[in-house]
Structure 1
Amino acid sequence: MDLLFWIFIFFGTFSIMEFMAWFTHKYVMHGFLWHLHKDHHKKDHKGWFERNDLFFIFYAIISMGCFYLWNYDNIWYCLPIALGILAYGLAYFTVHDIFIHQRFKIFRNTNNWYAKGVRRAHKMHHKHIGKEDGECFGMLIVPFKYFKK
C-alpha cells in the first residue's frame, strides 16, 4: 500500500509541476522577473548560459529541501515529492533545452507528429520577443491546434 502512495505522490507532483511551469512562465517570467527571462526570447550575450537558466535553481532548491527532509527528518512523503520535481526538471530540460532549443545538438531529425507540434507551439511563443502577448502553456500539455499530420 505504501508503494501505491509513493507512486501517486510522485506522479501527482510531476503533474503539478506542469501547472507550476505554466504559472511561473506566465506570471513570473513574463511578469516581474522578465529581466531574467528576456534573454531567452532575444539573446543579448555571446555565452552559452542565459540569465533565464537561474529559474531552475528555485525548483532545484525545493527538490533538495525535500530530499533533506526525507533523509534527516524521516518525512517519508518528501522522497516521492523530491523525485517528482527532479523527474519533471529532467523532462523539462530534455524537451525544452535539448529538443526544442537544441542547446546540445541531438534530437535534430525527430520527425514525429507530437514532436513537431511541441516545436511549432514553442515557436509561436517565441514569435513574440517582448514581455506581453506570448502564448504560455506547459511543456507536455500543448493545445491541439499545433498538431498537424
Structure 2
Amino acid sequence: MNHPYIDELILSCQMAKVSKPVNKYVITSLSDLVKLDKVGNAIYIISEVDGNPERTYSIFEDFKSRKERACAKLNTPSMVLYVGSSTTGIKNRLKQHLYEGPNRTYALHMKHWFSGSYKVDVLEFDVPIEVLQIIEDSISHNLKPAFGKQGSNNK
C-alpha cells in the first residue's frame, strides 16, 4: 500500500530534526520589534524574567476567567509563558501577545494583566511551513510553556 502522507510527514520530520535557525533575535520591549522588520518564518518563545511562575499563572488564569478577550489555553506554571510561530507577520503577532490585539484573537494580551519583565527569543527559519510547525511543536514539548496549545491552528 502506498502512503504518500506518511512519507511526506517522515521527510518533514527529518528536515525538522536537522534544521537550524538562520537568525536569532532577543526582544525585551515593544521598541525592539523593529529588529523583526524583515523576518519571515519564525518561532518565538516568550519567557518571564525573574518572576514567580505560580503567581503569574494565577494572575493569567484570573484574567482569562473574565472572558473579556480570547486567551491562550492554560497548561501548568512555567517561566516559559508561550511558544508560537508566525509565517505571516511576526511583529504583529508579538504585538497581540505583548501589547494589544483584537479581543477575539487568541493571545496572551499581556498589557492587560502582566506587570513583570519578559524576553522573547525569536528564531528565524528558512523551512517550509509544515517543517516549521514540527520544530515549534518540538520546542513546545521540551519547554512545556504555561500557556498555549500545541499543533497548528488549522487542526
More helix by share: 1
TM-score normalised over the length of structure 2: 0.22
| Higher RCO (CA < 8 A, seq sep 6+) | 2
TM-score normalised over the length of structure 1: 0.22
More strand by share: 2
Structure exhibiting the larger radius of gyration computed from Cα positions: 1
